[in-house]
Amino acid sequence: MKQSTRQILQILLGVLIGAMLTLTVVKYRETRHLVSTRYGGKWAKLNLVLDLLEKNYVDTIKVTELSDATISAALASLDPHSVYLPPVELSDSEEQLAGNFEGIGIQFNVPADTAIVLEVIAGGPSEKAGLLKGDRIVKVDDRTIAGVKFPQDSMVRLMKGPSGTRVTITVRRSGEEIPFEITRGKIPVHSVDAYFMLSDTVGYMRVGKFSRTTYKETHEATADLSKKGMKHLVMDLRANSGGYMDQALLMCNDFLSAGDTIVYIEGVHRKREVFRADGRGSFRDMGLSVLIGESTASASEIFAGAIQDNDRGTIVGRRSFGKGLVQEPFFFSDDSGVRITVARYYTPSGRCIQKPYSEADEYNYDIYRRYADGEVFSADSVHLDKSDVHHTRGGRTVYGGGGIMPDVFVPMDTTTTTLFYRQCTRKATSMRFAAAMFDKYGSRLTSIDSFAAMDKFLSQENISRQFVQYAMSVDKIKCTEAEWDSSRPYMQPEVYALVSRYSALGENAFYKYYLPIDSTVDIALENL
């Protein structure tokens, strides 16, 4: 009797527990249904998960960080160039492309754990306060930044700030530490790094980025060179990672004829839009060579592709990066934003320059793979997509599938390395020597404003011989006469470039003296 009663009780208990479980599941389903209904739409699951995490996760969740991480992960799954930018990153990114920034107005380098002023921007806050080229920056406000392995990007952040705010920069000059109180202001950022004449009729221009002022700068520089007799321009876009597309369009318009296609863009939500030259360009008859390399990307590839497909000039160098996606910015009220890929761009012949990105690792390590596969050393090692065939206006065959393949390939030169060169490179001897020469000849260097005067100075002071002596005595690097004879052809131009940068000629002098060891420029000149 007792056993029967126990069995009956067990059955009843089982039914009761089952009913409770059923009610719990039903309740959960009702909750889930209510949540799904509340959020609704195509993004219901994402919102549901975030809401569940906030209400149920074991630890306290920082909602903003989780939201940012979710957005970043979602965009990263689409393509390599759709990105989320938190407020600080967005501000830095916009500033780089804006054509100006807020700060104190200097350029500096850090050859040996101390920031040395390379340029004081004319009319900027630092010039007005009295900073000079060659000053060693010791402190920013009360923060010591010299001799303590302070990161260079952190130095920049300390010096930058909103217009009207003040910062004290303490510099070491002639053995004395001098504080300067500087009121920050708007500082122009230049897209044209340098321009000058290579010969009586050939000019050179290096364009570092496509910012809001790029067209104005390149147009004015080209006009200036034209007045000096330029008939052929060597436009250097190597290491130019791009920027604003409209600036590339305006630059192309300066060199192309009426009706020439520059580029067209197209996407699922963007109807095809074709951009053509209007025929009012100022330099349509100017000879043109365009230098590109594996770091030439985006807007600079638009320019190179338009010139190549219209048979307007000669493209010289190595295959460009291969970034053919158009990003559009969207901004949020918390000063963050996203850049979303909205279209692909196509060169006049119909090539999409974007290289494949289905595998993230392959995309991110593509440049390394070019070195490993030997592409940068031989044109025969370049993997072209022979199935994606296009033709220029003149009927020449060009290929899509990733990047612009130059008309004239220039392999990377690896033959010019001696033991002395490698040791100097490892210790940054050339950069530190240049700073030492400024300490020694500062007043003379800053007064030199012509290449003729610079040539005379370098020769009179036997700068190359002083460099060898510096390397041997300061850095303890052995160098025989024979080894210097082998190293001189490519080390002397480098040393001259770094020393002359401290003159009034600035970056123009640097590139002018460095170009003799630039094989890409040599080959461009050979193929005018």
Of the candidate ranges 27-31, 86-90, 123-127, 431-435, the one whose mean pLDDT is the lowest:
27-31
CA pair distance 437, 146, nearest whole angstrom = 20
Helix/strand number for the chain, H first, E second? 18, 21
CA pair distance 464, 242, nearest whole angstrom = 37
Mean pLDDT of 50-55: 88
Q: Which of 59-63, 187-191, 342-346 has the highest mean pLDDT?
A: 342-346
Give, to the nearest 10 degrees, the angle between helix 245-255 and helix 214-227: 30
Query: In the predicted model, is pLDDT for residue 423 greater than 80?
Result: yes
Query: In the predicted model, is pLDDT for residue 29 greater than 70?
Result: no
Q: What is the pLDDT of residues 294-317, one digit of tens each?
A: 999 999 999 999 999 999 999 999
- Is 192-409 in the same CATH topology as 100-188? no
Query: In the predicted model, is pLDDT for residue 445 greater than 80?
Result: yes
Q: What value does the CA radius of gyration of the chain take, rounded to a whole number of Å?
A: 30
CA pair distance 145, 138, nearest whole angstrom = 6
Q: What is the pLDDT of residues 355-376, one digit of tens each?
A: 988 776 678 788 888 888 899 9
Position 50 scores a pLDDT of 86
Position 107 scores a pLDDT of 84
Mean pLDDT of 369-397: 90
* CA dihedral sign, ordered 415, 421, 427, 430: negative
Of the candidate ranges 13-22, 187-196, 257-266, 331-340, the one whose mean pLDDT is the lowest:
13-22
Q: Which of 345, 323, 316 is nearest to 405 (CA)?
A: 316
**229 Rama sector, left if φ>0, alpha if ψ -120 to 50, beta otherwise:** left
Position 28 scores a pLDDT of 40
The DSSP result for 131-177, as a single string, is --TTPEEEEETTEE-TTTT--HHHHHHHH---TT-EEEEEEEETTEE
Exposed / middle / buried, residue 266 (Cβ in 10 Å: 0-12, 13-18, 19+): middle
Query: In the predicted model, is pLDDT for residue 105 greater than 90?
Result: no
CA pair distance 260, 387, nearest whole angstrom = 26
Query: In the predicted model, is pLDDT for residue 379 greater than 80?
Result: yes
CATH code that applies to domain 100-188: 2.30.42.10
Position 347 scores a pLDDT of 97
85 pairs with which residues across the strands? Answer: 337
Domain ranges of the chain: 2-61, 100-188, 192-409, 419-526
Mean pLDDT of 132-139: 90
Q: What is the pLDDT of residues 500-513, one digit of tens each?
A: 998 999 899 999 99
Position 31 scores a pLDDT of 45
What is the value of pTM for the model shown? 0.81
Query: In the predicted model, is pLDDT for residue 9 greater than 90?
Result: no
pLDDT confidence tier of residue 5, bands split at 50, 70 and 90:
low
Position 362 scores a pLDDT of 74
pLDDT confidence tier of residue 98, bands split at 50, 70 and 90:
low
Structure-model confidence comparison of residues 2 and 413, the more confident one = 413
Query: In the predicted model, is pLDDT for residue 138 greater than 90?
Result: yes
Position 32 scores a pLDDT of 45
Instruction: Return mean pLDDT, the chain.
Output: 88
Position 335 scores a pLDDT of 87
The tokens for 155 are 């130095």
342 pairs with which residues across the strands? Answer: none
pLDDT confidence tier of residue 97, bands split at 50, 70 and 90:
low
Q: What is the pLDDT of residues 107-116, one digit of tens each?
A: 888 877 889 9
Q: By three-state DSSP, how is residue 341 classified? A: strand
Cα separations (Å) of 38 from 31, 35, 42, 523? 10, 5, 12, 66
Of the candidate ranges 47-56, 93-102, 439-448, the one whose mean pLDDT is the lowest:
93-102
CA pair distance 258, 93, nearest whole angstrom = 34
Query: In the predicted model, is pLDDT for residue 248 greater than 70?
Result: yes
Position 409 scores a pLDDT of 96
Position 348 scores a pLDDT of 97
State the pairing for strand pair 115-120/100-103: unpaired
Mean pLDDT of 133-140: 91
In this prediction, what percent of the chain has a pLDDT beyond 70? 90
Q: What is the DSSP letter of 301?
A: H
- Does the 192-409 domain belong in CATH 3.90.226.10? yes
